[in-house]
Amino acid sequence: MVKRIGGIRRKTRYKLRKQKRNKGKISMTNYFRSFSAGDKVYLGVESAVQKGMYHPRFMGKSGVVKDKRGKCYGVSISDSGKEKILVVHPVHLRKA
């Protein structure tokens, strides 16, 4: 088999880029957001924080918070009819 070169950030030059007006320090309110089980959330990458970042293929999807796992949250999404649970840091989530 062929050995694949590159990792999770492969081919994401523009996808994980910040817009010009959003560059700079991230706000602490976004970093320490809290969610409860059953909340609907949108997935949106904060590229300045690599911890708890999900795979870029799930960018822009919406899901439901299932539980809290340490500092992160377990978010259930539907991917091609299958339920998947992503472990995501709250800085990458927005309330729906």
Q: How many domains does the chain divide into?
A: 1
Q: Which residue range is the domain that position 91 belongs to?
A: 25-95
Residue 42 lies in a domain: yes
pLDDT tens-digit map of 37-90: 999 999 999 989 999 999 999 999 999 999 999 999 999 999 999 999 999 999
Q: Measure the CA–CA gap between 84 and 26, rounded to whole angstroms.
A: 28
> What are the tokens at 53?
């970042």
CATH of the domain at 53: 2.30.30.70
Residue 83 lies in a domain: yes
Residue 8: predicted pLDDT:
84
- The structure's pTM equals 0.88
How many Å from the N-terminal Cα to the C-terminal Cα in the chain? 42
> What are the tokens at 96?
């729906």
Question: 3-state DSSP helix/strand/coil percent for the chain, to nearest 5?
Answer: 15, 30, 55
pLDDT tens-digit map of 5-42: 888 888 889 988 998 998 988 889 999 999 999 999 99
> What are the tokens at 47?
């590229």
Residue 64 lies in a domain: yes
Residue 65 lies in a domain: yes
